[in-house]
Amino acid sequence: MSDTIILEVARFHPERDTEPSYQSFEVPLRADWMVLDALNHIKDQLDGSLAFRWSCRMGICGSCGMMVNGVPSLTCESLLMNFAPGPVRIGPLDHFPVIKDLAIEMDEFMGKLQKVRPWIVRKDDYVPKREFIQTPKQLAAFQQFTLCINCMLCYAACPVYGLDPSFTGPAALALAERYNLDSRDQGSAERTDLLAQHDGIWDCTVVGECSEVCPKNVDPSLAIQQYKISATKDWFKTWLMPWGNK
C-alpha cells in the first residue's frame, strides 16, 4: 500500500472566488492519523492559508465537523487509513454558509440554540436550601440528550434543514426536549408555544439521518418524535379541560 494519500480539500475565499473549488494535497498515510491530522499537516507543511476549525482533538468540542467523502463527520474521529487508497474529499458541512475553505458560519445555529431556552426555567421564586434532588430514573429520562456537543453534523445530514434553513433543526429541538424532560424544569409550556409553530417540531419528516450521523448517539430524531407526542397530549388537555393547567 502507498505510504501517501491524496486529500481533495474544498477551497473558497469569499473576497476572491465566486464558487468553491477543490485542491489536491498529497499527505503521509500514517496508521495513527485521523483526517484532522492530515489537515493539520497541510496547514503546517504545505499551505498555511487553509482555514478550518478544531480544538480538542478528542470528539468533545464539536468544532471539527466536515463532510468527509460526502458524510458529515468529526474529522478528529475519522481514521485516515479507512479511506485508503483515496482520494478523500473534504468539504465544509453541507447546508451552512461558508466563511472560508472549511469554516462555516455558525451564528444562525447559535440563535436557534438560544431560542429553545436551553436552561432550567422556573416559574416560582422558590430558592431551595440545597440542590434539587433527582432520582436515577428522572435523570435517565433526559440523560441521553445531554450528550450533544453541538457539532452540527445533524444539520448537515438533515434534508429538511437543507430545504428550509428556518427549520429549528435536530440539535436545538433535542436540547429543548432535554430540558422539557428534566424534573426541575417548568418551562415546557413556554418552549412548546414556540416550537409547535411553523419551523418547529412539526417540520421534521422523520428521515432519521440526524441520528445516523450523531457521533454521540444522542438520537435527535427520537427526541423530536417524543416532543411531538407530548405537544399533542398537551394540546388535547387544553382542548378537553380548558380550565386545567397544562
Size of the site for ligand FES (CB under 6 A): 12
CB 63, CB 36: distance < 8 Å = no
In the set 40, 63, 168, 188, which binds ligand FES (CB under 6 A)? 63
Q: Which residue bears the cell 457539532? A: 151
Sole window of 61-69, 117-125, 164-172, 234-242 interacting with ligand FES (rule: CB under 6 A): 61-69
- Give me the sign of the Cα torsion angle 118, 124, 129, 133: negative
Nearer to ligand FES, 62 or 86 (CB): 62
Q: How far is the CB of 64 from ligand FES (least distance, A)?
A: 3
- The residue from 59, 118, 165, 208 that contacts ligand FES (CB under 6 A) is 59
CB of 14 to ligand FES, least distance (A): 24
Taking the least distance from each CB to ligand FES, the nearer of 215 and 220 is 215
Handedness of CA 162, 168, 174, 175 (dihedral sign): positive
Residue 180 beta carbon to ligand FES: minimum distance, rounded to whole angstroms: 27
Closest CA to 95 of 84, 105, 82, 85: 105
x/- string (CB under 6 A) for ligand FES, residues 19-58? -----------------------------------xxxx-
> Per DSSP, what are the bridge partners of residue 72?
67
Q: Rounded distance, CA 158 to CA 201, Å?
A: 13
Counted residue by residue, the chain has a size of 246
Nearer to ligand FES, 54 or 202 (CB): 54
Q: How much of the chain is in helix, strand and coil states, percent to nearest 5?
A: 40, 15, 45
* Stretch 64-83 residues interacting with ligand FES (CB under 6 A): 64, 74, 76
Nearest distance in Å: CB 61, ligand FES:
3
Q: Which of 46, 60, 71, 120 binds ligand FES (CB under 6 A)?
A: 60
Question: Alpha-carbon torsion 46, 54, 218, 166, what sign?
Answer: negative
Distance CA 137, CA 51 (A): 45
Distances, alpha carbon 25 to alpha carbons 38, 41, 42, 112, 229, in Å:
10, 10, 7, 36, 49
Candidates 11, 42, 62, 113: give the one binding ligand FES (CB under 6 A).
62
Piece in contact with ligand FES (CB under 6 A), picked from 13-21, 62-70, 95-103, 169-177: 62-70
Cβ distance to ligand FES smaller for residue 91 or 187: 91
Catalog residues that contact ligand FES under the rule CB under 6 A: 54-57, 59-64, 74, 76
